[in-house]
Every structure is written in structure tokens, then in C-alpha cells.
Amino acid sequence: MTHGMVSAPQPEAVETGLDILKAGGNVVDAAIGAALVQTAVDPQMCGIAGFGSCHLYLADQGVHELIDFHGRAPLATRPDMWADQIVRECDDGFGFVLKGEVNEIGYQSMTTPLTLRAFDEALKRYGTRSLAESLQPAIAYCEEGFLVRPHVHGFWSRGSECGRIARIRGLTDDPATAKIYIKPDGSMYQIGELLRNPDMAQTYRRLAEAGADDFYDGKIARQISDDMRTNGGLLCLEDLAACETETTQPLWTSYRGYDVATNPLPGGGLMIVIMLNILENFDLAAMGHNSADYIATVSEAMKIATVDKDTHMGDPRFFDVPMEELMSKDYGRRMADRIKRGEKTSVPRLNEGGAESKETTHICVADPRGNCVSMTHSLGSSSGVVTDGLGFMYNNCMMVFDPRPGQAGSLAPGKARFTALSPTIVLKEGKPFFLVGAPGGTTITMGNLHAILNAIDFGMSAQEAVAAPRFITTSDTVEVTNRIFRSTERELQARGYPTQRQAYSFVAPTVHGIRIVDGKLDGGADPSGDGMAASV
């Protein structure tokens, strides 16, 4: 009997999820237990002081909802506090470079930490295991150590890009962080070496004993607040006490007879809806997968959704988003007609080029009865800050706010930033057919779109859908991976499309998915990462 399937970028997390399913846990138990292991073995990609979006379809419990846990700007935030520190916009148009990189690294770069709250709530509502039980595998990896994987080491070694800092600074600038991630001789841990984090293990043991509330209004909260106050941070006890998730209903659209459910703002699901509504007006299968016609058509849909994102999408609590218009099928038809007329959409950018930071992770869990979890969670690109003795790293999500007052993405206390996190579930005849999600910054929505099109229009398995050659168009330039034929690229150029060829065969986002056909599961893990999909 198949208990279920797990797909994730970390084999350790996949194995943990499978162990939980085999022991009788449900998909929520497996997802949260695996996600906590991700915080231990991928500690700059995600953590309990991060943010995310959890999409739950629980057939056994009659539940279909999302737990949104996007962090919010601290109460001490002022709309103009960084207006005089702007150096320039990042090359990818995603965030700004400020003097001293105060929004990217260090004690002012953090939004409120909601991940632990979300994990605890998911378990209490829909799991069968306690937080204390779910923490045990993560504690073991913290105490016994994990082998540094190529993907982890690659992030640590990443140089300066898009105007951002070299990531090694996230390990070395803060003494409490360096104590964990830098060896006594001053060198960095190498691939295959064992890294232990006993301070994180101690914190997790404390949380297992005292509960998640200790993080938000107990002993750990006071340690966090004291550290922030000592080092000029914006977070305070009042911010921690105010940390609340938001339970939301999915955004819906239909696509070629399938129903597609995705997450609302401030997540990126609205972009998925817009692109599918446009592309439904084309016979993509007849064009041929990754033909010049296909790439040009899908790229135009990507560009239209990107312009809509830049212009209209923000935190609905602070910004009036024309949801009815953007989600309508009529809008999709009108945008499709523009593409059919040969109109090219231009994506305005102050600076061109570069790839956005991709420090995020994802997990998919499903069982044969149609219970599914698709969850993306993140630290942004991580602040580099660890409170001495606590072991976990904080997010740096203040980085993407616009420091110019009066803009859609401007700073404001209690405001969430837009993210492309878009865990999505496709249903066929009212039952889950394909769940998908990815880390990868602004490219997340594009990777998820590719996987959905591959599964529906081209009938691919989950592994084929997440591994097929991709292109990403979030500016006027079509970025193609090295497996897109050069003859196709030349044809795109002849049509007036600027292109940029990646040296890599697989690039971000790192898409993961599970397909359910007649109660049978097949999973996919993007070959660009270290991950896997497996069943038990």
C-alpha cells in the first residue's frame, strides 16, 4: 500500500516526510516535519524566522485553504527612513541597493518571523502530531550534523550579483553566525563536510518543551528583543506578540477543463491566473513544445503578468488591487488578442540584467486519497544574523520594499511585500491532479507555469514537467537555458526578441511537483537542485 509521496529540494527532508507517513502521520504531519528538517539542513534557504505560503487540500477533512505567513515590516518602520540612502535599483528590478546594505544584511533587514507560528497552527488544526514530536528529526540533524550539499555550498560561495552582496558575508559579518558556519581556522565548510548547530538544537528543544508561543511572547521572544535592541534592530516584543498568520481561500481559474487553485496576494498566484487565462486562447500543443511560436507566445503572457505585477500587485491591506479585472477571462482574451496582433509588451526596468536571488525552498506531499500540501517557505536571501545562543537565522525581507515613499511597494509599518511564492494545485473533475511549487525569486511563477503547461498541454509526467527545458521572460529579454535549441533562439531574434542564453542546462526556479492519476502518484524534483521525489 502506498502511504504517500514527498518531493523537496533536500533528500533529508524527503526521507523525514516519508518516515512520518509510514508511521501513520498524515500529509500535514509529513509536510511540517519535513519543513522543519529543511530549516536544519538548508538554514539560509528557510528557517523558523522566515515567511511563506502553505496550500492545503485535505480531502479526508473537507478542507481547502491556504495559511499565509508573509512577514510584515516592523512597527518601527518609517516610510521615509531609507529615502536618503538609495544607491540604485537592483539590476533585476527586485529591490534596491542602499548605503551600507542595511536592507539586505544585518539587524534592520528583517520582517516579522511567521514561519514557526504557521507550522504550529497547521499541526494543531489538521495534523495528528504535536510540534514537539515534529521537531525531533530536525533536532537530530542539528545535533548530529548534516553533510554540506552542493546546493548549500553553492549559495555560500555565490559572489556579488545584481548589485547585492557576496553571500559569504552572510556567514562572516555577524560573530554569532560565524561561530556556526565558519571553521576555527577561518575557512568555510566544504561539500561533504559535517556541519552541526547545537544552539539551534537547544532552541528547538526549548520550543518542544515550552511551545511555539515561547518564540513570540516568552523567554525566546525576550532574547530576540534584547538582541534587536542592543544592535539597532527594528523588531521588538510588540512585533513578535502581533505575529499572526492569515487563513485565506484560494484564487481560482479554469484551464482547458481543469480547475486551478493558487494563493492570493501578497503571494504570486494572481500572476499564474493571468498567464493561464491568456494562454488558454492559444493551441499551445499544436505550436510544439519550445518552438519559436510557443516561446514567443508564452513569453508575452509572462511579460504581461510581470507588468501587471509591477503596476498593480501589492499588499491588499495597503494597496487597491483591481482583482476582478485582472482575474477575468475577458481580460485574458483581450491580452491574447494583443499577442495575436503581434504586439510586444515592454517591461520597464530602471536597470536591466542579472538574476534575482533564489533563497527559498518548497515541499510537496500527497497521498492516494487526494490529501495534498504544497508549501513554499523562505528567509528571502537571509539576513546573516543569528542571536547568539539561539542558532537560527533571520529573514531579510525588508530588502525588497521600495525605499521611495508613495510607491506601491513603499515601506510602511505592518505591511507585507509582494512575493512570487505560488504553491498551486490543479484539479481534474474535482480531485487533485497536479500540485506544484518552487523556490526562485521572481522566476517562481514562471517555473510553476511551465510545469502546469507541461502537465496539461503536453501530458508530461511530474518529473518530465519539472525537468523540461525552460525559458524565463520577466523583462524585455527572453532568457533561455542551454537546452533550448540555438536554431529556435535565432528564430526568436529574427522576430525582434532580445535573448540571453544561460550556460546552465537547468536554472532557477527549482520546481517540484506531484501528479495524481487514478489514485497513483508520480513525483518530480528539479534536476537543478539536490532534491528528490519518492514514495512509501
399 pLDDT more than 80: yes
At residue 164 the predicted structure's pLDDT band, cuts being 50, 70 and 90, is low
At residue 391 the predicted structure's pLDDT band, cuts being 50, 70 and 90, is very high
Q: Are strands 251-255 and 258-262 parallel, antiparallel or unpaired?
A: antiparallel
pLDDT in tens, 40-75: 999 999 999 999 999 999 999 999 999 999 999 999
Mean pLDDT of 112-116: 98
349 pLDDT more than 90: no
Choice between 97 and 162, residue whose per-residue pLDDT is larger: 97
Mean pLDDT of 189-194: 96
Q: In whole angstroms, give the CA distance from residue 381 to residue 361.
A: 11
CA-closest candidate to residue 51, choices 436, 377, 511: 377
pLDDT in tens, 232-258: 999 999 999 999 999 999 999 999 999
Helix (H, G, I), strand (E, B) or coil at 15: helix
Q: In whole angstroms, give the CA distance from residue 58 to residue 47.
A: 25
508 pLDDT more than 90: no
Q: In whole angstroms, give the CA distance from residue 445 to residue 178.
A: 34
Do 485 and 457 meet the contact criterion of CB atoms below 8 Å apart? Answer: no
Q: Which of 91-95, 227-231, 381-385, 397-401 has the lowest mean pLDDT?
A: 91-95
In the residue annotation, 247 being an active-site residue is answered as no
At residue 18 the predicted structure's pLDDT band, cuts being 50, 70 and 90, is very high
Do 47 and 157 meet the contact criterion of CB atoms below 8 Å apart? Answer: no
Average pLDDT, the chain: 94
Mean pLDDT of 6-30: 98
**Number of Cβ atoms within 10 Å of the Cβ of 322:** 13
| CA contacts within 13 A on the Cβ side of 362 | 35
Helix (H, G, I), strand (E, B) or coil at 510: coil
Query: What pLDDT, on the 0 to 100 scale, is given for residue 96?
Result: 82
Query: What pLDDT, on the 0 to 100 scale, is given for residue 160?
Result: 58
Which of 39, 297, 360, 488 is the catalytic position? 360
Q: How far is CA 91 from the centre of its chain?
A: 20
Query: What pLDDT, on the 0 to 100 scale, is given for residue 353?
Result: 37
Query: What pLDDT, on the 0 to 100 scale, is given for residue 275?
Result: 98
Instruction: Kindly write down the DSSP assignment for every residue of 25-66, as one continuous string.
Output: --HHHHHHHHHHHHHHHSTTT--TB-EEEEEEEEGGGTEEEE
Q: In whole angstroms, give the CA distance from residue 525 to residue 323.
A: 32
Q: In whole angstroms, give the CA distance from residue 336 to residue 101.
A: 41
**Number of Cβ atoms within 10 Å of the Cβ of 476:** 16
Mean pLDDT of 305-317: 91
Mean pLDDT of 437-441: 88
Query: What pLDDT, on the 0 to 100 scale, is given for residue 403?
Result: 93
At residue 91 the predicted structure's pLDDT band, cuts being 50, 70 and 90, is low
Q: Where are the domains of the chain?
A: 248-355+420-522
At residue 409 the predicted structure's pLDDT band, cuts being 50, 70 and 90, is confident
161 pLDDT more than 90: no
Query: What pLDDT, on the 0 to 100 scale, is given for residue 381?
Result: 87
19 pLDDT more than 60: yes
Q: In whole angstroms, give the CA distance from residue 511 to residue 528.
A: 9
Q: In whole angstroms, give the CA distance from residue 317 to residue 266.
A: 9
pLDDT in tens, 441-485: 889 999 999 999 999 999 999 999 999 999 999 999 999 999 999
At residue 502 the predicted structure's pLDDT band, cuts being 50, 70 and 90, is very high
352 pLDDT more than 60: no
H-helix or E-strand spanning residue 144: helix 131-144
- Tell me the residue type at 167: R
Do 68 and 248 meet the contact criterion of CB atoms below 8 Å apart? Answer: yes
Pick the CATH number of 248-355+420-522 from 1.20.210.10, 1.20.1260.10, 3.30.70.360, 1.10.246.130: 1.10.246.130
Query: What pLDDT, on the 0 to 100 scale, is given for residue 355?
Result: 41
Instruction: Kindly write down the DSSP assignment for every residue of 164-198, as one continuous string.
Output: PPPTTHHHHSSHHHHHHHB-TTSPBPPTT-EE--H
